[in-house]
Each structure stands twice: as structure tokens, then as C-alpha cells.
Amino acid sequence: MIRRIKGTNDIIEDSYVWEWVEDKLRSVSKKFGFSEIRTPIFEATELFKRGVGTDTDIVQKEMYTFEDKGGRSITLRPEGTAPVMRAFVEHSLDSRGLPQKLFYIGPMFRYEKPQAGRLRQFHQYGAELIGSSRPEADVEIIVLAVEALKALGLKEFKLKINSTGCEKCRPKYKEALKEYYKPLLPKLCDDCQIRYDRNILRLLDCKKDAQYAKSAPIILDYLCDECKEHFNRVKELLDTLGVDYEVDPTIVRGLDYYTRTVFEITSTSLGAQDALAGGGRYDHLIEELGGRTTPSVGFAMGMERVMIALEREKKLPDKPSPQVYVVAVEDEQRPRALSIAFELSKEFIVETDVMGRKMKSQFKNASKLGAHYVIIVGEEEMKSEIYTLKNMFDGSQVKLSLSEIKRRLKEEKCDSNLQWH
Ligand code: HAM
């Protein structure tokens, strides 16, 4: 038997949860004025090298890169921001006016060690606010991320923010970090030994070496006046809006493009992989990709982790069930049952038997599927065109014409959880 690749999932039983989550995320994004962008799942490898940064874990060890038949180096996208910015530059989206507010939902690929909440093909919902350098933009993005989680009914999460400074103040901070970590180097994990030269900031968010990060110098003491002012304004605005947050100077994020504000939302109901969402400001990514300087800010949310959190917090939606199941008493009534089912399916969620089941077993199937109503089509019903409508929840029965049945189903809305609000 050929099995699925390690670190990937088949979404079968719970596809209705995905649909529900995606509906909610699309709806919140649109309310914030964001519109959807769908970029290809593979791109030129160079995009991620330049965009995400050659010294990041993603580019160093996690990319699915291959040569296509034309000899081009292709990479399955490990994240969505660089592709969106590539599209922004390629289609001169700035000519449509700024800011451009885009969101995306789709699969991403990283060759990581699979574990609960960490996959090789996972899905992200992300949003990018392109073209504003103002703290208001950071706050709009942060609030969107928080509101998206709230719209799903999640409560057990924490927002942590930090500033990573800019090209003016960050080098001094990096120097200070190098000084601090130098004597500790032999004690650091293998990854951090390499990161010390390549990407010193990442030493701060290494889980294995977290003990050393506690007493490391903090970036907030090194911010230049502009970065300090920007960060203070972000905090003030969050306070004004009543958004709860914690300043966590160890948040540096694993991608190179960040400047100033960075943030993460962690779930208190998840285990080791507790980051539900992460993002921040990236003021130079677009010029890195050949566009005009266009300060921007965004985030992405891990959808599989959101699903686990929904399960832990008991916030999963109910499985949708048919509103009505049309039962044929004898084989002679099957064509009528089928035509009633097709007629009703223009407006309702309908099931009927296509397996040649006897009446009793059609009823069994109707209750197994959780159908709210059953329409019984027998010999008498065929003649009179008055059908028995049985409420499977309370057992009551009425005789009605098809148009009366339609009216009844419409009035009752049938508790169908397909009618998501
Ligand atoms: P990221 O922190 O690499 O940021 O990923 C965002 C979220 O994707 C994480 O918080 C996590 O929930 C989820 N995630 C990441 N890797 C995996 C994985 N292997 N399995 C399951 N879930 C995962 C970015 O990707 C940036 N592009 C975010 C951004 C957008 N920054 C600015 N704009």
C-alpha cells in the first residue's frame, strides 16, 4: 500500500471543520477590508533565499527544493509573505493605491521534524497590510489576528509583542548579544552554535537554551528614538483598544525580514508547539525583491494548531447533518423519492437511498446520519401526493403536500449546522 508522506494529513472526517474555520476567517478578514490573494504553491527558490533570508532555519534546512524539467530551481512555498510581496511587485499593486490589504489561506511546506502541531505540509491563514509605516497599521494587523481567533470562539491565548529595532539600532544590540553569549558558547545546543555567527537573535527564542536568554541583554534597551517611539505608540494604541498583551523581549521570530514590531500569539491549551500565529513589520522586504520601499506588516496563523486548540477548548462546530431524508417504502416509489429529493435539494440538505436498502434500513441510515426529518413515500402517498413528514427528533408525524413540506422546512430551519452564522 502506498501511504501518505510523513508529516502530511488527509483531511476527511473533519473537512466540515476546515470549511467552517475558513468561512469564519474569510468573513473576519473581509470585515477588516482585506481581500483574498491566491499565489502559486511553488515559486523560484531565489524568492525565499532573498525574502526569508539565507541564514534562517527555513532556507538552511527546511525547504522542499527541486529542479524542474527545465532546469529551474523551484521551491514549495514555506510561507506566504514572500510570494505575496513578489505578486505585489510583479503586478505593480501599488498603482492601485496604498495600503493594499491582502489575506490568504493555503498549504505551506517545511521539512521539519513532524510532531503534534508540526507538519511538513501545513496550512496558514495570513494577512498582509502593505504600504504603511505607521503604528496604526501594526495595530490593525494585531487586532485582526486576535479577532480571527475570537471569531472561532477561542479564548485561551496570549498575545506577546516586542520590537526588533531597525537597521540603525539592531547592529549595536547584536554586538551586545554576541558579547553576552561568547563565554556561554560551549554550553549552547548545536543549532545555536551555528546561529551564533549566522543569526545571533535566534539564540533568544531557542527552547533548549531558554535559560540563558533570561539574563541576556534586551533589545528594548537598545532601540533608537524612532523605534522606541513607534513601539510606545503601538502599545498605547493596544491599550486604548483594550487589547491584552505582554511585552516579551525574547520574541525575535525566525525569518529575516522583520523590522520593529514583532508579535506572537500562543495558546495556553497547546503543548510544545503552542504558537498559533506570528507576524510583524517588514519594511524592506519589497525593496529586497526589487520593488520600491514599501513598509508593511502582517501575520500568519497555523490552521492545524487552531484546529487542535478548538478541540482542546471544546469549540468545534457540530457535524452538519441532513435536514431531510426521503424514504421510499417499496421499490416502486424509488423514482418518486428520488425526484422529491432532487427537488428539495435546491433549497435544503437532502439525502435519499441509492443502495437499494429496505425501508427499515433506510430509517436506520437516516438516524445514523442525524437527519432531522424523514419524508415517507409509500403507495398511498404516491397517489395522493400528500406525504408523511416525520420529525426524527421528537417522533411526531404530519401529512403534507410537497409545497407545505418546503414551507415547514424553511420555517424550522431544521437546526442545520450548515447554516453557519
Ligand atoms: P511563522 O511564525 O513561520 O511566520 O509561521 C506562522 C504560523 O504558522 C506559526 O505560528 C504556526 O502556527 C504555523 N506553523 C509554522 N510552521 C508550522 C509547521 N511546520 N506545522 C504546523 N504549523 C506551522 C510566517 O510564516 C510569516 N510568513 C508570518 C508573517 C506574515 N509575517 C509577516 N507576515
Could you tell me if 182 and 282 are in contact, meaning their C-beta atoms sit under 8 angstroms apart? Answer: no
User: Ligand 1: which of 8, 77, 124 to mutate, most ligand atoms within 8 Å of CB?
Assistant: 124
Instruction: Please report the pLDDT score of residue 421 as a whole number.
Output: 30
Assess contact for 110 and 120: CB atoms under 8 A. Answer: yes
Residue 275 Cα to ligand 1 midpoint, Å, equals: 8
Q: Is 275 in the pocket of ligand 1 (CB under 6 A)?
A: yes
Per-residue cell: 59: 532556507
Beta strands, E only, 153-289: 157-163, 246-247, 261-267, 275-282
Query: Which DSSP letter does residue 339 get?
Result: H
pLDDT at 184: 95
Question: How far does residue 120's CA lie from ligand 1's centre (Å)?
Answer: 12
CA distance 370 to 324: 9
Written as one string, the DSSP assignment of 390-421 is: EETTT--EEEEEHHHHHHHHHHHGGG-TTS--
254 CA → ligand 1 middle, Å: 9
Task: Return the closest-CA partner of residue 195 out of 53, 323, 397, 405.
Answer: 53
Is the CB–ligand 1 distance for residue 81 below 6 Å?
A: yes
Q: Which residues pair with 282 in a beta bridge?
A: 296
**Residue 121: its H or E element:** strand 121-130
Taking the domain 15-169+223-312, which CATH number applies?
Answer: 3.30.930.10
Q: What is the pLDDT of residues 366-381, one digit of tens each?
A: 999 999 999 999 999 9
* Cα 84 from Cα 68, distance rounded (Å): 22
DSSP code for 319: P
Residue minimizing CA distance to atom 10 of ligand 1: 277
Predicted pLDDT of residue 413: 64
Consecutive H or E run containing 49? helix 45-52
Sheet of strand 42-44, all strands in order from the earlier edge strand to the far edge: 42-44, 73-76, 64-67
3-state secondary structure at position 279: strand
Q: Which residues of the chain have pLDDT under 50?
A: 414-421
Residue closest to 350 by CA, chosen among 329, 320, 381: 320
CA 123 remoteness from chain centre: 6
Residue ranges, CATH 3.40.50.800, the chain: 324-411
Q: Radius of gyration (Cα) for the chain, nearest Å?
A: 27
All CATH 3.30.930.10 domain ranges of the chain, comma separated, are: 15-169+223-312
| Single-letter amino acid code for the residue at 48 | F
Distance 56 CA to ligand 1 centre (A): 13
Concatenated DSSP letters of 358-376: -HHHHHHHHHHHT-SEEEE
Quick one: which of 76, 84, 83 has its CA closest to 107? 76
CA-nearest residue for atom 21, ligand 1, is: 118
Longest dimension (CA), the chain: 92
Judged by DSSP in three states, 29 sits in helix
Say if CB 122 and CB 108 are below 8 A apart.
yes
- What is the pLDDT at residue 419? 43
- Nearest-CA residue for atom 15 of ligand 1: 302
Answer whether 141 contacts ligand 1 (Cβ < 6 A).
no
Confirm or reject: Cβ of 112 under 6 Å from ligand 1. yes
- Chain centroid to CA 277: 8
The finding on whether 302 has its CB within 6 A of some atom of ligand 1 is yes
For the domain spanning 324-411, the CATH number is: 3.40.50.800
Chain-centroid distance, C-alpha 49: 24
CA of 263 to the centre of ligand 1 (A): 12
User: How many whole angstroms separate alpha carbon 133 and alpha carbon 234?
Assistant: 12
Helix (H, G, I), strand (E, B) or coil at 109: strand
Mutate to test the pocket of ligand 1, among 56, 122, 144, 285 (most ligand atoms within 8 A of CB): 122
Q: Tell me what pLDDT residue 149 has.
A: 98
Ligand 1 centroid to residue 19 C-alpha, Å: 20
Among candidate residues 255, 256, 349, 258, the one with its CA nearest the CA of residue 295: 258
pLDDT of 134: 98
What pLDDT score was predicted for residue 226? 98
Tens-place pLDDT, residues 160-176? 999 999 999 999 999 99
Q: Is 106 in the pocket of ligand 1 (CB under 6 A)?
A: no
User: 194: Cβ–Cβ under 8 A, 6 or more apart, which residues?
Assistant: none
Q: What ligand 1 atom has the least distance to the C-alpha of 79?
A: 25
